[in-house]
Amino acid sequence: MAFLCRKGFNMDKKKFAYGWLLKWVLAAILIAAGILVKINEVEVVYATTGIAIVLFSVLRIVPLMKTLKKEVLRTINLIEVIFDTIMGGLMIYVAFSGLSGDPFWQGMYAYLLAVFFYARGFIYMVSLYFFAERTEALKFWFHLICITLGAGLLVLAITSTGNVILKTLGWLILFVSVAGGIYLGYDGYGGYRIYRQTSKSLNNETKKDKKQPIVEKELPKPIEQEPEKKETYIN
């Protein structure tokens, strides 16, 4: 242990972070997932949408119920959460049971997504107008976009096949996955560069320790006491 400390391998001085490695692995998974979406487009888009809706519904239920002051609002939002959870569960079932290739379910996908967005925006606007819920500007515009998306998806579902929407979302998921993978890869590159700089400084310290030999300090010698001189008395 003394030898290691002498050579400069003191781990308390240099801390190595390996988060960059995890980011590179996640980047590879994201990009691979985006590519798989295009290969198995319908199944993956169905599953991704269903899981996202279930997570959005389940994770916000407790904070939502605790912060809404009026019982009517809690009841309305609870009904919406239950309905969205059932809808998301249905999408997951369709994806993993092999029914997503059926033309009926491909058409139903657009209707389900339209109902989800429109219901979220509609309930939000009702809360503002009838129950005087206070909000911020960003939240207002987001829910206005939700109503617009819901109406637009409904029109697309009526005028075209659900396959068009599935393919569009497939390209969107691919774009988001690749963009997220590139971002994580770049962020991991920065972390790896810091890691290498830390390694370089550690090696430089080791070289300095080799050039400077250790000088052993001599122990202090004991002080010799002078012999006592006998006093001479003059008469």
DSSP tally for the chain: helices H, then strands E: 8, 0
Measured between alpha carbons, how far is 15 from 167 in angstroms, rounded to an integer?
47
DSSP codes, 100-168: GGSHHHHHHHHHHHHHHHHHHHHHHHHHHHHH-----HHHHHHHHHHHHHHHHHHHHHHHS-HHHHHHH
With b meaning 16 or more CB within 10 Å and e meaning fewer, what string describes 74-110?
A: eebbeebbeebbebbebbbebbeeeebeeeebbbbbb
Would the pLDDT of 23 be above 60?
Answer: yes
pLDDT band at 211 (very low <50, low <70, confident <90, very high): low
Would the pLDDT of 51 be above 80?
Answer: yes
For residue 73, the 8-state DSSP code is H
Residue 6 within any structural domain of the chain: no
CB-based burial label for 4 (10 Å; 0-12, 13-18, 19+) = exposed
Q: Which domain holds residue 49?
A: 19-196
pLDDT band at 231 (very low <50, low <70, confident <90, very high): low
What's the total number of domains in the chain?
1
Would the pLDDT of 133 be above 60?
Answer: yes
* 144-165: average pLDDT: 80
Residue 140 within any structural domain of the chain: yes
Residue 54 within any structural domain of the chain: yes
Residue 23 within any structural domain of the chain: yes
Would the pLDDT of 135 be above 50?
Answer: yes
Contact 34, 179 (CB under 8 A): no
pLDDT band at 228 (very low <50, low <70, confident <90, very high): low
How many CB atoms lie under 10 A from the CB of residue 149? 17
Residue 133 within any structural domain of the chain: yes
* 150-179: average pLDDT: 76
* 41-53: average pLDDT: 85
At 73-117, the pLDDT tens digits run: 899 999 999 999 999 999 999 988 888 878 888 888 888 988 999
Q: Euclidean distance between the first and final Cα of the chain, in Å? A: 71
* 110-134: average pLDDT: 89
Residue 12 within any structural domain of the chain: no
Contact 204, 61 (CB under 8 A): no
Q: What is the mean pLDDT of the chain?
A: 78
- Residue 57 CA, chain-centre distance (Å), reads 18
User: Which has the closest alpha carbon to 47: 92, 113, 100, 97?
Assistant: 92
HEC string for 34-62: HHHHHHCHHHHHHHHHHHHHHHHHHHCHH
With b meaning 16 or more CB within 10 Å and e meaning fewer, what string describes 44-58?
A: bbbbbbbeebbeebe
Residue 228 within any structural domain of the chain: no
Confidence at residue 55, expressed as pLDDT on a 0 to 100 scale: 92
For the entire predicted model, the pTM comes to 0.63
* 50-79: average pLDDT: 89
Half-sphere exposure of 133 (CA within 13 A, CB side): 23
Residue 29 within any structural domain of the chain: yes
